[in-house]
């Protein structure tokens, strides 16, 4: 629902996935999760950018609120290396539910042969104290897998499985399950056209 932990891939398992929404060449799938009322989500699309542009945007935590759905604030806690960091984020959730917060650990890796990039971003516990009247998410798994640049585009798949913790109305769960990912990727497509990303180069990637 919130963490936007992602999977952008070339070949990705389709077992149990059900297509929910297709719009502007963005496909959103959902599937049940054992012992959870919250379904996992997957987003698949192509983006007309280079790999480095997308990776740079994902790691630009301070500006992520410009494209991440319902982001209220986000800031880096610790930068381990150019390709690894920890960050804190709070997500604005409509009343009567309380806002959610989480700490995520982002790790970028690239297969030197296939050029495919994976970005793991699991939630982690601790590191910063929780806020009053804000629910802390402690379980979220997912990742981006970003295909090699071909025919002026990259193939991206985003997958997320998360326990939002606390009480969440069914209508709100449904909104975040489809509306949230769709709005996020529509904004992301536009955001990646900003001039600061157009010619970006990352030393640790073979783009």
For residue 75, the domain's CATH number is: 3.30.530.20
89 domain-assigned: yes
| % of the chain at pLDDT higher than 70 | 88
Q: Assess whether pLDDT exceeds 80 at residue 175.
A: no
In a domain, 185, yes or no: yes
Q: Would you say residue 206 lies in a domain?
A: no
CA dist 195 and 191 (Å) reads: 9
* Cα–Cα distance, 112 to 134 (Å, whole number): 41
3 assigned to some structural domain: no
Dist. CA 143–CA 121, nearest whole Å: 6
Task: With CA atoms as reference, report the closest residue to 47 among 169, 153, 161.
Answer: 153
Element (DSSP H or E) covering residue 156 = strand 154-163
Residues 6+ away with beta carbon under 8 Å from 206: 110, 112, 115
Domain count, the chain: 1
The CA distances from residue 86 to 75, 91, 99, 145, 163, in Å, are 9, 16, 20, 19, 19
Pick the most confident of 37-41, 115-119, 134-138.
115-119
pTM above 0.75, yes or no: yes
CA neighbor of 196 nearest in space, from 85, 77, 52, 24:
52
Asked if the structure places residue 1 within a domain, the reply is no
Q: Which residues contact 124 (CB under 8 A, 6 or more apart)?
A: 86, 103, 104, 105
For residue 98, being part of any structural domain is answered with yes
Residue 205 belongs to some domain of the structure: no
Better-predicted residue by pLDDT, 107 or 2: 107
Averaged pLDDT score across all residues of the chain: 86
Q: Structural domain of residue 33, as residue ranges?
A: 18-198
User: What stretch of H or E contains 158?
Assistant: strand 154-163
């Amino acid at each position: 629902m919130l963490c936007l932990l992602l999977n952008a891939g070339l070949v990705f398992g389709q077992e149990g996935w059900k297509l929910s929404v297709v719009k502007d060449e963005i496909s959103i799938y959902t599937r049940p999760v054992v012992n959870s009322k919250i379904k996992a989500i997957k987003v698949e699309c192509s983006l007309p950018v280079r790999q480095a542009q997308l990776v740079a945007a994902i790691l630009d935590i301070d500006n992520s609120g410009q494209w991440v759905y319902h982001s209220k604030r986000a800031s880096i806690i610790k930068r381990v290396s150019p390709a690894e960091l920890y960050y804190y984020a709070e997500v604005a959730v409509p009343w009567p539910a309380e806002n959610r917060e989480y700490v995520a650990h982002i790790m970028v890796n690239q297969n030197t042969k296939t050029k495919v990039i994976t970005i793991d971003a699991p939630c982690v516990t601790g590191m910063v104290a929780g806020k009053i009247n804000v629910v802390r998410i402690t379980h979220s798994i997912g990742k981006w897998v970003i295909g090699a640049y071909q025919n002026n585009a990259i193939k991206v798949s985003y997958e997320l499985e998360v326990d939002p913790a606390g009480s969440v109305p069914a209508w709100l769960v449904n909104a975040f399950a489809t509306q949230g990912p769709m709005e996020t990727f529509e904004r992301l497509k536009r955001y990646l056209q900003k001039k600061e990303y157009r010619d970006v180069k990352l030393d640790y990637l073979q783009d």
